[in-house]
Amino acid sequence: MKKLYIIVAISSLIIWVTPGIKAQVSVQDSVISSSLIYAAVGLQFPGGDMADRYGISFSVGPGYLYKTSRNWLFGVEANFFFGDDVKIADSLFKNIMTSNDFIIDGNGEGSIIGITQRGFSAWGKVGKLFPVLSPNPNSGLFFTLGAGYLSHNISISNLDNSAPQLDGDYRKGYDRLTAGPAVNLNIGYLYLSNHRLFNFMIGFELSQAWTKSLRDYDFDLMKADNQSRSDLLTGFKIGWIIPLYGRAPKEYYFY
């Protein structure tokens, strides 16, 4: 969440240092090209092969959309996601645990091991905004289609690095690092205030990735994982927007 606070702070600064924009444009009266810088948070539910490994996760990340004077949308977005529900946690270290379910550290004591989900996605997006149920022609229902890359893994924390079984490259044998190409659909509502004071987007998101393991060997399975996977994520996302407007179209009169 610290990264999100930094993004929000930088975005707030942009609002204050952008001079004279309001005087040049009329968001309420005409469709205006604009750069939309945003920070978003989301809630995600896994599906497909991903549901066998993880539970619910949360996402956070920055994005950029360029809205044309015809309300076409073009942009890029990055997301970091994380969660505490790792469904294979009980069996992940079965080969290095004692009968009492402990991993013995270098001091002969039980280690404290933390296991969480981590992931990353990056998208290039194209879409369209429709000024429906909106206060101005620059707001309304929208959709975007995206193509990009998605990865996920199990993050393993070994307190004080006291367990040699999970040091360095040994940890990679358990982290299930998985990645591949992906597509994304986002359907939602985008609101740009007539007075630039409150701007946001909210929507439903669906992502599908065709992934494979990036590790040569999984220690707990005692073999390589060569299976192709279909990973799904569905969820909801809300974003806070900093709009930077271009000039309104000029009107020409002919006699």
For strand 34-48 and strand 229-245, is the pairing parallel, antiparallel, or unpaired?
antiparallel
| Type of residue at 235 | G
Structure tokens at 42: 């989301």
Domain regions of the chain by residue span: 2-18+29-245
Say what the pTM is.
Answer: 0.83
Q: Is 58 helix (H, G, I), strand (E, B) or coil?
A: strand
Q: Which of 242, 233, 149, 225 is nearest to 186 (CA)?
A: 233
Instruction: Please report the pLDDT score of residue 99 as a whole number.
Output: 79
Instruction: Please report the pLDDT score of residue 246 as a whole number.
Output: 72
Domain at 2-18+29-245: CATH code: 2.40.160.20
pLDDT digits (tens, 9 = 90+) for 131-188: 999 999 999 999 999 999 999 999 999 877 778 888 888 999 999 999 999 999 999 9
Structure tokens at 220: 């707990």
The answer to which of 67-81, 122-136, 146-160, 235-249 has the lowest mean pLDDT is 235-249
- What value does the mean pLDDT take over residues 220-241? 96
- Residues forming a β-bridge with 119: 81, 152
